[in-house]
Amino acid sequence: MLTAVTMTFFAANSLLARFALREGEIDGGSFTAVRIFAGAVALVLLVAVRRGGLAALRGNGSVGAALALFGYAITFSFAYLSLDAGVGALILFAAVQITMIAVGIVRGEQPGPSEWIGLTLAFGGLVYLVSPGLTAPSPAGVTLMAASGAAWGCYSLAAKGVRSPIAATAGNFARAAPMAAGALVVIWWTGQPHASWTGLRLAAISGAFTSGLGYAIWYITLKDLSTTRAAIVQLTVPVLAAAAGVILLGEQMTLRLVLASAAILGGVALALLGKNGVVSSAHE
């Protein structure tokens, strides 16, 4: 149940960002800053009421992880200025998984045949999704969302091995807050910032609930999920985001998106199963 709630929160992030940014309720920099500020406040409060209180924040989190978190959040926001919720989530989570698998290869892991087939299938689906045509998404949006996924993949890898994941996440959000403030100053000084109350509320909800609380719940559920299951369940997020985008935001479900989704999600799932299936089964 907690896993289902978390995946719903992750998909809701895409919907909230898409609605707030594409409808012109708030600019990308302001959305990022409010999201990170709200997430930091929510997580610090969550740590404060747990055993050990705010003292648990000392020594948790890192500047490197905070940079990855900020990089994910800022590129995520600007990508959704030109992408639909489903397309954005698909590119994001494909980039996350491809990044994490690629890092494993660089670190010396030897992919098996199913991994190479899966990665080739996923990459082919991504190429098909972004190839020129009437229904191809914005190249700038695709590039930004791919960068966002890579940053989130790095952030996820940095989180491995932390002793107190919730306190570490709170520390990372707190460290990312000054970065978001600096970006906000630059954007407000050089750009054309704007924010309605609706946009501010959507950004705050995204930060405090679907990001901050969602990440906290996710770390709790990870204790009871194998590595393979934890990776594969995240592949449901683009499907949830695409379906909700069609129902709630009036987005179109194109044939290109359906075919690309099948190729990308199927390919990544095949690669993950090939990478972790035997190990996971042995531990279970």
DSSP letter string, 150-210: HHHHHHHHHHTT-S-HHHHHHHHHHHHHHHHHHHHHHHHHHS---B-HHHHHHHHHIIIII
Per-residue model confidence (pLDDT) at position 135:
64
CA distances from 48 to 36, 69, 88, 170 (A): 18, 22, 34, 10
CA quadruple 143, 211, 157, 56: dihedral sign: positive
Inter-residue contact 278 to 226 (CB < 8 Å): no
Per-residue pLDDT reduced to its tens digit, 217-237: 877 776 676 655 666 677 778
Amino acid at 251: E
CA distance linking residue 91 with residue 143, whole number of Å: 9
- Mean pLDDT, range 3-10, rounded to an integer: 87
CA distances from 242 to 133, 140, 220, 238 (A): 20, 20, 26, 6
Query: 39-43, 180-184, 262-266: lowest mean pLDDT where?
Result: 262-266
Question: Look-up: residue for tokens 């919720």?
Answer: 85
281 pLDDT band (50/70/90 cuts)? Answer: very low
Per-residue pLDDT reduced to its tens digit, 147-177: 999 998 888 777 666 777 788 888 899 999 9
Per-residue model confidence (pLDDT) at position 228:
56
Q: Name residues whose C-beta falls within 8 Å of residue 110's C-beta, 6 or more positions apart in sequence.
A: none
More confident residue, 112 or 77: 77
From 212, 194, 192, select the one nearest 73 (Cα to Cα).
Answer: 212
CA distance linking residue 284 with residue 281, whole number of Å: 5
Per-residue model confidence (pLDDT) at position 282:
35
Between helices 165-190 and 139-159, what is the axis angle to 10°?
A: 150
245 pLDDT band (50/70/90 cuts)? Answer: confident
**Mean pLDDT for the chain?**
81
- Write the DSSP symbol of residue 88: H
φ/ψ of 64, rounded to 5, equals: -60, -45
192 pLDDT band (50/70/90 cuts)? Answer: confident
Q: Name the pTM for this structure.
A: 0.81
More confident residue, 22 or 38: 38
Per-residue model confidence (pLDDT) at position 229:
62
From 154, 139, 157, 14, select the one nearest 76 (Cα to Cα).
Answer: 14
264 pLDDT band (50/70/90 cuts)? Answer: confident
Between helices 63-79 and 28-49, what is the axis angle to 10°?
A: 140
- Mean pLDDT, range 198-208, rounded to an integer: 94
Q: Say whether pLDDT at 271 is over 80.
A: no
Per-residue model confidence (pLDDT) at position 66:
92
CA distance linking residue 155 with residue 215, whole number of Å: 12
Q: Say whether pLDDT at 133 is over 70.
A: no
CA distance linking residue 222 with residue 245, whole number of Å: 27
- Mean pLDDT, range 6-18, rounded to an integer: 90
From 68, 99, 14, select the one nearest 272 (Cα to Cα).
Answer: 99
More confident residue, 98 or 42: 42
